Amino acid sequence: MRCCHICKLPGRVMGIRVLRFSLVVILVLLLVAGALTALLPSVKEDKMLMLRREIKSQGKSTMDSFTLIMQTYNRTDLLLKLLNHYQAVPNLHKVIVVWNNIGEKAPDELWNSLGPHPIPVIFKQQTANRMRNRLQVFPELETSAVLMVDDDTLISTPDLVFAFSVWQQFPDQIVGFVPRKHVSTSSGIYSYGGFEMQAPGSGNGDQYSMVLIGASFFNSKYLEFFQRQPAAVHALIDDTQNCDDIAMNFIIAKHIGKTSGIFVKPVNMDNLEKETNSGYSGMWHRAEHALQRSYCINKLVNIYGSMPLKYSNIMISQFGFPYANYKRK
């Protein structure tokens, strides 16, 4: 037959062999490609995983865990008690202790002698005792989320687990437990305060325009934002040893064009400052502390050329915790 006749020609035989070889090579390459594709990590494009970076050391997604940053000065007894609590919180990746006790060695040895510990704790010795030390871009920080807590604040684990899940749904905002507000007066001068102040506007209820970072989750990229702010902002914080949290709220509100934070009502959060033996009671006890914060608001408006803070009255609680908290009285 004609086909056979063609097949028997030497040139054709060679051609068919080359063809077969090529097909085999192509098939092998496809199999290899398929295997490689199966082995690649899947990349999701939705909003939640927008800032995903690989954590080579622990293999965790950077949106699924957070880094605790705790700055401490002269209250090591509270610090260690709090670390014992926080080290066991689910989804905690690492702790960074910003050690502001200049001239005193950080308790690395003591910490290690009482191991093993669930997660790494890094003590970062500082060169000067500055409030804004905690807002550095720490190279050890690998997660998208920061949990920032003052060294006298004990937040229960259920509160943290819930607030972190809320942050994952609103990763561009500060999700935290302490709301504050600014009010403006007829003179255009701003003042800083809490619930004792009256929110502007008609309507019932209250408003807040800031969520303090000392008990909150926020996106770690905002540490870089803070570093890039005008020198005047850093100078203001250095002069007052105050207002780094107000500045962060300004920066974030300005960046996202909406309210900087979301308030999550804590079920079980305590301030332990009365329990310290150090004799040191915290910056907010200084006589000028509250006045400084109003001062800072007006300075920041001056530096940025506008008031970017926005009001919100959204309060988030965990459905069904404490039990049946949604039932009508």
Exposure of 176 in the CB half-sphere (CA atoms within 13 A): 30
284: contact with a copy of itself by CB under 8 A = no
Tokens of 53: 């970076």
Number of residues lying near a copy of itself (CB under 8 A): 36
Among 107, 171, 176, 179, binds a copy of itself (CB under 8 A): 179
Binding segment (CB under 8 A) for a copy of itself, from list 77-85, 140-148, 182-190, 316-324: 316-324
Footprint of a copy of itself on 29-58 (CB under 8 A): 46
156: left (phi over 0), alpha (psi -120 to 50) or beta: beta
In whole angstroms, give the CA distance from residue 20 to residue 114: 67
Cβ contacts of residue 152 below 8 Å, gap of 6+? Answer: 75, 78, 82, 271, 272, 273, 276, 282
> Is 64 noted as a catalytic residue in this protein?
no
Name the residue with tokens 């990349």: 43
Residue pair 231/289 in contact (Cβ under 8 Å)? The answer is: no
Among 66, 86, 263, 304, binds a copy of itself (CB under 8 A): 263
- String marking each residue 218-257 x if it binds a copy of itself according to CB under 8 A: ---------------------------------------x
Footprint of a copy of itself on 189-218 (CB under 8 A): 195, 199, 203-208
Tokens of 237: 């914080």
Binding segment (CB under 8 A) for a copy of itself, from list 50-58, 95-103, 111-119, 311-319: 311-319
Q: How far is the CB of 319 from a copy of itself (least distance, A)?
A: 4
Cβ contacts of residue 314 below 8 Å, gap of 6+? Answer: 262, 263
C-alpha distances in Å from residue 128, one per residue of 53, 132, 280: 32, 10, 18
Among 269, 272, 283, 303, binds a copy of itself (CB under 8 A): 269
Kindly list the residues in this chain that would bind a copy of itself in the complex (CB under 8 A).
46, 158, 161-162, 165-166, 169, 179, 195, 199, 203-208, 257, 263, 265-266, 269, 312-321, 324-328
